[in-house]
Amino acid sequence: MTMELDVFVGNTTIMDEEVYQLWLDGYTVNDAVKVRMDGGVMEECEASADVLLSDTMDQYRTFQMCERLLHSPSKLGNQLLFQIPPHQQAMLIERYYTFDDAFVREVLGKKLSKGTKKDLDDIGAKTGVTLKSCRRQFDNFKRVFKVVEELKGPLVENIRHHFLLSDKLARDYAAIVFFANNRFETGKRKLQYLTFQDFAFCAGQLISNWTVGAVDNMVEDMDVDLDKEFLQELKELKVLITDKDLLDQHKSLVCTALRGKTKAFNEMETNFKNLSRGLVNIAAKLTNTKDVRDFFIDLVEKFIEPCRSDRWTAADIRLYLTHYNNSAHILDTFKHQVVWDRYMGVVKSCIFKMYHD
């Protein structure tokens, strides 16, 4: 009896994107097989359960062999063991370094150390992310942090170059590195309403305006360390609240500009001095490491919560801060406009992002 077989021989590594995602998500082989069966792959491919199990195991072995290359993504394109098309290489890398927002929100601002790694069990249970996936994501954060820590040049560009990530993902990693380095407090109950993307936006503002890299683009840690000289200069802003005449003049200018433009005018006028003291005192204390860490909690307690209790809308916040910022330029005896603009530009942007109606 003769049989005719069609045989195709090739050396391109076949990778199923759905199976890859299951592997990344920490599913066991058996659980991955069940998910695939529930998704109707057996009917679609006319395959038996044994064939599906064998295929899944084979795919998992391939991913595990590729994993060491994914730790240094540039090696993936230079190795000869796996023949992987460039577009698929990009997919493997991007997905390997993609993370769950719920997971990163729990570790954001914490030290990327063994102590935090011990908490991954609890974080996994809280977020619904498997322990294996938590470990992969945490190790990725740590790996990126270690590689870019001592590099000169822009943080986002360094991450994109060394890990071959998309611009969006590189910017998210820059935020994670920046928060881990400066240990910003993000876990307090009053900050729980803020998402990772809220913090990532604020990190971008801080990196662009308050770091050493904002004034010198070829120094180590340029986008990671805050500019200490600038933080010292912020103390000069205290004159806005310690000089009574200046404080009264500032209030008068702001209130004149706001009158008739918002229903919250009375509250703005009444609370002007307290709100101004809050914002200026935050600036003046940023020379202390602890106060840098408390930057976001201070913005919430000293400005956002008082405005929220008076039922200001997001439009009210925008109107108030715009005039509050601009009016300082008209004050005759106030000589620190450059430092003021550098400070308030970031504070305004962060508050606009953090103030949810």
Mean pLDDT of 144-169: 93
Contact 163, 97 (CB under 8 A): yes
- Return the number of other C-beta atoms located less than 10 Å from residue 305's C-beta: 13
Which tokens belong to 279? 């914002």
pLDDT band at 224 (very low <50, low <70, confident <90, very high): confident
Angle between helices 29-38 and 17-24 (to 10 degrees): 130
- Return the number of other C-beta atoms located less than 10 Å from residue 259's C-beta: 11
Choose among 314, 323, 316: nearest CA to 344. 323
Contacts of residue 83, defined as CB under 8 A and 6 or more positions apart, other chains included, come to 11, 12, 13
pLDDT score, position 316:
97
114 pLDDT above the threshold of 80: yes
What is the rounded distance in angstroms from the CA atom of residue 19 to the CA atom of residue 298?
45
pLDDT score, position 302:
97
* Locus of tokens 């200490």: 228
78 pLDDT above the threshold of 50: yes
pTM (2 d.p.): 0.90
pLDDT score, position 9:
47
Burial grade of 286 (CB within 10 A; 0-12, 13-18, 19 or more): buried
Contacts of residue 68, defined as CB under 8 A and 6 or more positions apart, other chains included, come to none
What ranges in 118-221 are assigned the alpha helix state H?
120-127, 131-148, 155-163, 167-182, 196-210
pLDDT band at 218 (very low <50, low <70, confident <90, very high): low
Pick the residue with more confidence: 216 or 15? 15
137 pLDDT above the threshold of 90: yes
What is the rounded distance in angstroms from the CA atom of residue 157 to the CA atom of residue 159?
5
Q: Report domain extents, the chain.
A: 17-97, 101-187, 228-354
CA distances from 65 to 60, 70, 81, 170, 303 (A): 9, 10, 10, 25, 52
Pick the residue with more confidence: 357 or 51? 51
